[in-house]
Amino acid sequence: MGIKNLTSIIKHNAPEGIRKVHLSEYRGRILAIDTSIYLYKYMYNGNHLDGFVKQIMRLLRNNIIPLYIFDGKPPEEKKEILDDRKQKRDVLTNKKRELEAMIENAKNEIVSKPISLSTDVIEEPLDANMNTEQLKAELQKVNKKIIKITTEDIQKCKELFKLFGVPYIDSDGEAEDLCSQLCKEGLVYGCLSEDTDILANGGCIFIRDFNANNDYVTEYNLDIILENLKLTYNQFVDMCILCGCDYTCKITGIGPVNAYKYVLSFECIESIIEKIEDKSLKKHTIPEKFDYVKARELFNKINPTEYNKSMFKQTPIKHRDLCDFVDKNCNVSTTIKRVMKKM
């Protein structure tokens, strides 16, 4: 997810493009939010609705209008990486079943046979002599990694957004694409996400590191970043592709340092490929499936939207229905509930 090591390139070569920002600076602004990023994050932490309640309240208390964007159909070029993610989930699911079977068989006795779980599923190798409680702890770790978003989860989010009076959009494609396009059109001020694809897609203001417990975020300004990197936007996209993105594989042996260095020196991927082919740049291999042209098109595409700012207004909060919904579906504190009633 996102451009590999892009943050490290920016921090090292264009730190002026990054700043810590108090949410009050976005007062009166609309921020497009890549919903799936936070949906998975909050689901991992327990209850996704709890997370969104806290996020919305933090934003509204700073007079920010959140515009939630839901994912649509991903491009065909992303199929390989999506298949890989599914395969990893399947592995985790199998390991979950194995652990559940062991717990059922072991009861309170010591497991007498070695456990076959691999270190890529569990952070630490499992001991062959684990009791039921230890197995349960490992099962909990696996369960947290198996996150499957259902239609019901999404509908609950939408219901919550409606009760809070905050707008949302179902995107035809990926949410980060639409977030970036709305930003380029000036319909939103910035994009709240953790996915650096926002920058590669041309999102002018990329906001990350949101924490519902404080008012500070990190802002990336694409114009300042490009100026300090001494790259055009098209060159920046080529650098992102060389770093590694979801739309194609990458050239073997090119990491973030060389990705920036080569684009700065040779200006585009075509020239870099020529240098590799004539052996001017050694130790690099160009994979057959390196479809940088299609990846470039996906990042550079311009799909004018049919939206306008008047469509993104906040409507009145339905306090009574909201409180009932939260009581039924959430585990937020009584303090949060009291604040919610006064909003």
Q: Alpha-carbon distance 259 to 111, whole Å?
A: 50
Say whether pLDDT at 243 is over 80. Answer: yes
Tokens of 291: 């479809």
Fill in the amino acid letter for 31.
L
From the CB of residue 71, how many other CB atoms can be counted at a distance below 10 Å? 21
- Which stretch of DSSP H or E encloses residue 208? strand 205-208
Place of tokens 């997370």: 51
Domains of the chain: 6-77+153-228 (3.40.50.1010), 79-145 (no CATH), 231-300 (1.10.150.20)
pLDDT band at 81 (very low <50, low <70, confident <90, very high): low
Q: Are strands 168-170 and 65-70 parallel, antiparallel or unpaired?
A: parallel
pLDDT for res 342: 75
pLDDT for res 125: 47
- Which stretch of DSSP H or E encloses residue 219? strand 216-221
Say whether pLDDT at 117 is over 50. Answer: no
Cross-strand pairs, 217? 21
pLDDT in tens, 308-326: 888 899 999 999 999 999 9
Quick one: average pLDDT of 121-134?
55
Compare 215 and 304 and report the one with higher pLDDT. Answer: 215
From the CB of residue 205, how many other CB atoms can be counted at a distance below 10 Å? 22
Q: Are 96 and 136 in contact (CB under 8 A)?
A: no
pLDDT in tens, 135-158: 677 766 666 666 678 899 999 999
pLDDT for res 289: 87
Q: Are 187 and 308 in contact (CB under 8 A)?
A: yes
Q: Alpha-carbon distance 191 to 66, whole Å?
A: 10
Q: Which of 82-86, 116-120, 151-155 has the least mean pLDDT?
A: 116-120
Nearest to 182 by CA among 32, 28, 64: 32
Looking from the CA of 180 toward its CB, the CA atoms found within 13 Å total 23
Neighbour-count burial for 33-47, b at 16+ CB within 10 Å, e otherwise:
bbbbbbbbebbeeee
Say whether pLDDT at 43 is over 90. Answer: no
pLDDT for res 236: 97
Q: Are 113 and 87 in contact (CB under 8 A)?
A: no
Q: Alpha-carbon distance 268 to 274, whole Å?
A: 10
List Cβ neighbours of 322 (8 Å cut-off, separation of 6 or more).
160, 163, 164, 340
Q: Alpha-carbon distance 70 to 78, whole Å?
A: 17
Q: Alpha-carbon distance 308 to 84, whole Å?
A: 37
Per residue, the 3-state secondary structure of 15-84, as one string, reads: HHHEEEEEHHHHCCCEEEEEHHHHHHHHHHCCCHHHHHHHHHHHHHHCCCEEEEEECCCCCHHHHHHHHH
